[in-house]
Amino acid sequence: MASGAAVAVGARPVRITKRRMSLSPRAKRMFREASGRVLGTESGLEEILRLRIALTLLASIFGVIVVASSPTALNVVLALTVMAMAWQIPLIIARRREERRRKEFEIELVNALGEIVMGVEAGLTLESVLANYSERHQTSLGSEFRYVIERIRLGVPRVEAMRDFEERTPVTSVQLFVAAVNQNHRLGTPLATVLRQQAAAARRRRRQLVEENSNKLALKMVFPTIFCILPVLLIVIVGPAVIRLIQTLPS
């Protein structure tokens, strides 16, 4: 129970408190697995819970109206299905948001590695380069770099801050970047050389991913071609011939 204001009722003060919405440990774990560590904060979980309750109430009202208007087995199944979908939609939205955030990281970090390499080769420290990048770019990656720099300035070791950065966004490009930084910190290897090779590998991996997605377009076009475009073409091309054939046939 959060603290609130005290109001006097008669001779007895009554304390008005604001109740916080809470989730069960199982629900918190489920939502955090879907939302990740960045979006799955306490405020984010409360937002998801409010959305889930609101959608479920709306679906329940819809189900009651449908069943009351026509109490059939089909309408009961429809109402229960809509309620189940409303209960799961916030979880699906949270998972989609986290997937979109991770894809943005994959794309942006590949482009950011070039700036980081140039800054390190110019003689700046990694912390200075990341701080400059976070000041110039108001993006998800920039905010993560800002969080890492703030933790390092508070006295957290660089290895631990980078490990936390990897756990917050467990994508391939981030894992390779953190591994290169930790290797430089532990063995003293040239950081710019490792990051340059990593940037080249990341650009090659992204090019392969684009080529793979483009190769899938032909397979994805089979369904709309066969079931949407081909019937219309048959109607336009063969239809007049069929009509003329029917007209010329003796009745």
SS (H, E, C) 154-186: CCCCHHHHHHHHHHHCCCHHHHHHHHHHHHHHH
Task: Please list, in sequence order, all residues whose beta carbon lies within 8 angstroms of the beta carbon of residue 86, skipping any fewer than 6 positions away.
Answer: 52, 55, 56, 58, 59
3-state secondary structure of 250: coil
Helix axes 158-168, 140-153, angle to 10 degrees: 150
pLDDT for the residue 23: 56
Specify the pTM: 0.62
Q: Which residues contact 89 (CB under 8 A, 6 or more apart)?
A: 51, 52, 55
Reported as a single tens digit per residue, the pLDDT across 195-251 is 888 888 888 888 888 888 888 888 888 888 888 888 888 888 888 888 888 888 776
- Least Cα distance to 153 among 178, 177, 182, 127 occurs for 127
Q: Is 50:19 a contact under the CB 8 Å cutoff? A: no
139-154: pLDDT as tens digits: 888 888 888 898 888 8
Q: Which residues contact 53 (CB under 8 A, 6 or more apart)?
A: none
Amino acid at site 198: Q
pLDDT band at 44 (very low <50, low <70, confident <90, very high): low
Percent of the chain whose predicted confidence (pLDDT) is above 90: 0
pLDDT in tens, 101-157: 888 887 888 888 888 888 888 888 888 888 888 888 888 888 888 888 988 888 888
48: pLDDT strictly greater than 80: no
SS (H, E, C) 71-132: CCHHHHHHHHHHHHHHHHHHHHHHHHHHHHHHHHHHHHHHHHHHHHHHHHHCCCCHHHHHHH
Query: Which tokens in the block code for residue 151?
Result: 């933790």
C-alpha 209/C-alpha 186 separation (Å) is 32
**Contact indicator for 119, 129 with CB cutoff of 8 Å:** yes
Tell me how far apart the alpha carbons of residues 170 and 188 are, in angstroms, rounded to a whole number: 25
What φ, ψ does residue 21 adopt, rounded to 5°? -75, 140
SS3 6: strand
The CA distance from 10 to 221, in Å, is 75
Q: What is the pLDDT of residue 18?
A: 40
